[in-house]
Structure 1
Amino acid sequence: MKSVQSPLAIGISTLAPGLALCLIGTAVALGVNRLLPTVSPLLIAIVLGAVLTNVLHLPELVRPGLTFSAKRILRVGVALLGLQLLLSDILTLGWGVSLVVVAIVFLGIVGTMFVGKLLGLTWTQRLLIACGFSICGAAAVAAVDGVADAKEEEVLTAVALVVIFGTLMIPTIPLLSRVLGLSDTDAGLWAGGSIHEVAQAVAAAGAIGGTALGVAAVIKLARVLMLAPLIAVLSMRQRRLAGRGADVKRPPLIPLFVLAFLVCVGLRSTGILPADLLAHAKTLQTALLTAAMFALGAGVRIETIRKVGARPFILATVSTVLVASVALTGVLLTDADLGS
């Protein structure tokens, strides 16, 4: 007599190979990060996944687990990212710097969308690049994909561009800061305001100095906070486009992971969470995001990047310059002093 597996058991067995691969990739990335602390495990994981999928032919049985990691696990990691953000830190920036953060995100998205339209790119491709470069890199790309229903190749292209251009920004911002004669505080503000990923911004600011590292982290997390209202606006747009009716599937007004992110921000800001719990949560969040980045990297195939052509790369270049220019202009205008 045949044994009948439950749907849960079937689901777990389907996801297991890909999740196991992500676990191995995460362990390797975290191990390399221990040896090279200045290199983000998230960046290592993306590169590792991309190299693996382009050098070896990954079997199809790992795909369900990789997809699960790139979507579900990443959303949990983004939600836990809220535990790093204190609203009091954002308030200490002052109105001037806070307005600069809003300007970076708003002008970065609007400008990128406009140039992308001139280049003839699809709305979703433009949106993924705009949000990834203006807010928080691959996490923003994946979050936007959750409500915008983009094509897989558009998502993977945006992630690849975040990796390439964000990594190039790590040595560029410290170098240009010295050339321009910026103070460590202003250089940190510029790094946090212009670089795509949180980890990339921290790496660049760390190369500048301790003062830069502190302000860069706050500015970058302030940009991350802008992800919540953006996703809510996009979700409302998608609900309106979906229309009404019993057969119509409409996205939630605020996706669950964004709500969880805001709850985490609120909990951290109350000060009731013990330091040990926050430390463990940060370790878990890093591990989850590393696993998700490995899965995203494993979807980046060279032939896919070649197929999309030069236009996304042109848009990524324009977006990088635009966001960095708005951030630098804001820093110079406010000339903020955060107590350095």
Structure 2
Amino acid sequence: MKYISGILVTLFMALISFQISSLPFCKTYQLSPLVICIVLGMLIGNLLHQYIPESCMHGIRFSQQKLLRLGVILYGFFITFQQIAAVGMTGLLTDVLIISTTFVGGTFIGIRLLGLDKETAMLTAVGSSICGAAAILGTEPVVKSKSHQTAIAVATVVIFGTLGMFLYPFIFHIFNITADTMGIYTGATIHEVAQVVAAGNAMGSEIGATSVIVKLTRVMMLAPFLIILSFYLNRSTKESTGHQAKIVIPWFAILFVAAAGINSAQLLPQALVNSLSQASVLFLSMAMGALGIETNIGKIRGVGLKPIILAGVLWIWLLIGGYGMTMAAQQLLN
């Protein structure tokens, strides 16, 4: 019973965010309920925090932790293995190259060159590497970040992903890139799924279809990425402290793949799959709202411009290096 009041608070915020996201302005700029809900949560958490009863905090933290994992699991119902096979090895190789170079390079630049803490650097890098806010939320339990670190990472990838959403159609027309190349390039380098949908369809249905499939393949890689990252962080802890830390296997990531497998085999009625997909967005929105409530603007301000600089550097890398990797993968496999 102690969780109910807080869960209802985040549910109410999520439902409001769904309504706001359906407004023409939000539809035009592909502002998802996840983004709207974290902003709403930050406003409530910083302006009205004194009016939130302490009894609600149990449910709010439950939404931020448990419902987050459930949302990631159900996110698998957006994906099928058939979609991944449809783009072939070129799209898969491009995704692997983009994810590995962007995450490793971003983490190095963030920690070694910009002096960011490990958690903020990793979260910002994974948001740019895989699938924006959803990847950041999925990685949060593995790196054990604080609320304000997660919020900073989400904010930066939303900013630069939105810029990319508007810029890519201009790149397509100015440089006269082929539809096949542009579809893979768009799906492999733009941050959020919604942003890929908007940018891809603005360039034509063929590019739109290819870019979404490549993007969903990139999303699928979140699961193996989290498992590898968990083992890496465990090894780093052992080397630095001399003690064997407990390996945290992100079971929700494995269940995420299982959900995609169920969807691929068409074991469930399509109506139920659609409902589960919508539930995923609802739970992730609730988690974002809870995250926003627990995010203190003072802590974000204290970090300064470094996370934005890191996200900007990674965005430029995705624009330039991402295109180069797309071309390299095509030449290697075609």
2:40 to 45, 48, 61: 48
Question: Cα distance 1:180–1:32, how it changes in 2: closer, same or farther (>3 A)?
Answer: same
Deviation (angstroms), 1:218: 1.0
- Take 1:264 and 1:325, find their aligned partners in 2: how far apart are those partners? 34
| TM-score (norm. length: structure 2) | 0.86
Q: Deviations over 1:18-54 (max 9, x none)?
A: 2222111111111123333443222222332233334
Q: Deviations over 1:200-230 (max 9, x none)?
A: 3223323333333322221111111111111
| TM-score (norm. length: structure 1) | 0.85
The alignment yields a C-alpha RMSD, in angstroms, of 2.5
The equivalences for 1:189-204 within 5 A come to 189-204=184-199
Partner of 2:79: 85
Question: Cα distance 1:69–1:204, how it changes in 2: closer, same or farther (>3 A)?
Answer: farther
1:107 to 101, 114, 121: 101
Partner of 1:250: 246
**Paired amino acid for 2:318:** V
Task: Answer whether contact 2:183 2:200 (CA < 8 A) is retained.
Answer: yes
- Take 1:49 and 1:145, find their aligned partners in 2: how far apart are those partners? 18
2:311 to 294, 308, 316: 316
Partner of 2:157: 162
Partner of 1:3: none
Task: Answer whether contact 1:78 1:289 (CA < 8 A) is retained.
Answer: yes
Question: Cα distance 1:204–1:138, how it changes in 2: closer, same or farther (>3 A)?
Answer: same
Partner of 1:64: 58
- Take 1:26 and 1:307, find their aligned partners in 2: how far apart are those partners? 28
- Take 1:231 and 1:167, find their aligned partners in 2: how far apart are those partners? 25
Deviation (angstroms), 1:60: 5.4
- Take 2:279 and 2:160, find their aligned partners in 1: how far apart are those partners? 27
Partner of 2:23: 35
Deviation (angstroms), 1:65: 2.5
Deviation (angstroms), 1:280: 1.4
Deviation (angstroms), 1:186: 3.8
Question: Cα distance 1:184–1:96, how it changes in 2: closer, same or farther (>3 A)?
Answer: closer
**Paired amino acid for 1:125:** T
Question: Cα distance 1:206–1:290, how it changes in 2: closer, same or farther (>3 A)?
Answer: farther
Partner of 1:6: none
Task: Answer whether contact 2:41 2:293 (CA < 8 A) is retained.
Answer: yes
- Take 1:51 and 1:166, find their aligned partners in 2: how far apart are those partners? 22
SS at match of 1:92: helix
Moved over 4 A (4+): 333-336
**Paired amino acid for 1:256:** W
Partner of 1:225: 220
**Paired amino acid for 2:40:** L
The equivalences for 1:1-340 within 5 A come to 12-13=1-2, 15-36=3-24, 37-38=27-28, 39=30, 40-57=32-49, 59=52, 61=54, 62-116=56-110, 117-241=112-236, 250-252=246-248, 254-333=249-328
- Take 2:325 and 2:185, find their aligned partners in 1: how far apart are those partners? 9
Task: Answer whether contact 1:193 1:327 (CA < 8 A) is retained.
Answer: yes
**Paired amino acid for 2:33:** P
Deviation (angstroms), 1:155: 2.0
**Paired amino acid for 1:197:** E
- Take 1:149 and 1:83, find their aligned partners in 2: how far apart are those partners? 26
Deviation (angstroms), 1:333: 4.3
SS at match of 2:227: helix
- Take 2:177 and 2:294, find their aligned partners in 1: how far apart are those partners? 39
Q: Deviations over 1:62-102 (max 9, x none)?
A: 43333222221121111111112111211221222211110
Unaligned runs of 5+ in 2: none
Task: Answer whether contact 2:189 2:322 (CA < 8 A) is retained.
Answer: yes
Is the deviation greater in 136-145 or in 100-109? 136-145
Task: Answer whether contact 2:181 2:326 (CA < 8 A) is retained.
Answer: yes
Task: Answer whether contact 2:127 2:153 (CA < 8 A) is retained.
Answer: yes
**Paired amino acid for 1:145:** E
- Take 2:221 and 2:131, find their aligned partners in 1: how far apart are those partners? 9
Task: Answer whether contact 1:174 1:187 (CA < 8 A) is retained.
Answer: no
Task: Answer whether contact 1:97 1:330 (CA < 8 A) is retained.
Answer: no
Deviation (angstroms), 1:106: 0.6
Task: Count matched residues.
Answer: 320
Is the deviation greater in 290-299 or in 192-201? 290-299
Question: Cα distance 1:179–1:43, how it changes in 2: closer, same or farther (>3 A)?
Answer: farther
SS at match of 2:49: coil
